Amino acid sequence: MILDVNKLNYSYPHGPAVLKDISFNLGSGEVMAVLGPNGAGKTTLLKVTMGVLKASSGRCTIDGEDISKLSPKKLWSKISYVPQSKLSTSSLSCLDMVLLGLAGKINSFSSPSAEDRKSAYELMKELKIEKLAEKKCDALSGGELQMVLIARALISKPKLLILDEPESGLDFRNQLIVLDTMAKLKDDGISCIFNTHYPEHALMRADKALLFIDEHTVFGHTEDVITEENIERSFGVRARIEDDYIVPLSVI
């Protein structure tokens, strides 16, 4: 899988530019982190990259094909998306919610097979959420729902997994499970892009990083992008990097 984003621009209707000349690339099994302060445009970037929002200019391709010209079925056979989690009003069981991730691969007149249900349960077990299998989604905490949505995205075995703040609302243990899951995807050649508020998580798991600094972005290998100087420029925080740990010193 090769994702190539070239000189991407986006403005909301009758509004100012949100994304300006953003370019990056991602290969099979690579993990990329997107970072920046609140309101920088991180979620918008994900949506424009997937074609959910139409770019003002620029081009996004996956395996050489223009994403904006792919049929929804073909696009979502390659990409899975995990939005920021909100409390659910669905009365589906968590196992059935995970099985919804197979909707594009199951005949519309068919039901998930016993093998599909087994695969969904095994995936939940791998993510250490099998105890939620029969629990109703509307009874979940935000963090629990986030883990279920990640399982739903993974069951279709996409080439590219895109996650919008996947650690949001998760406790420390589940944050590590998500980070470890992204690392394991590399072995299957699945690529991953995730927005994060945690520069340490980028240093721990991402091969590449894209950092919003004012109205510009910096893209490259993670250790070249997440530097003490760039953290100060982007977040307004003086910090010291020790191995993969970031020690905040003061707010500017």
User: Residues 121-179: pLDDT tens digits?
Assistant: 999 998 899 999 999 998 988 788 888 999 999 999 899 999 998 887 788 888 888 88
**Phi, psi (deg, nearest 5) at residue 23:** -135, 140
Going across the sheet that includes 17-26, the strands are 17-26, 3-11, 57-62, 65-66
User: Considering the entire predicted model, what is its pTM?
Assistant: 0.90
Choose between 209 and 13: higher pLDDT.
209
Residue carrying the six token digits 């893209």 = 219
Average pLDDT over every residue of 13-23? 89
Closest CA to 97 of 177, 29, 154: 154
* % of the chain surpassing 90 pLDDT: 62
CATH number of 3-251: 3.40.50.300
Domain boundaries, the chain: 3-251
* pLDDT score of 87: 65
Q: Could you tell me the CA-to-CA distances from 98 to 7, 160, 240 in Å, in that order?
A: 35, 18, 41
* 3-class state of residue 3 by DSSP: strand
Residue carrying the six token digits 């970072």 = 35
* pLDDT score of 30: 96
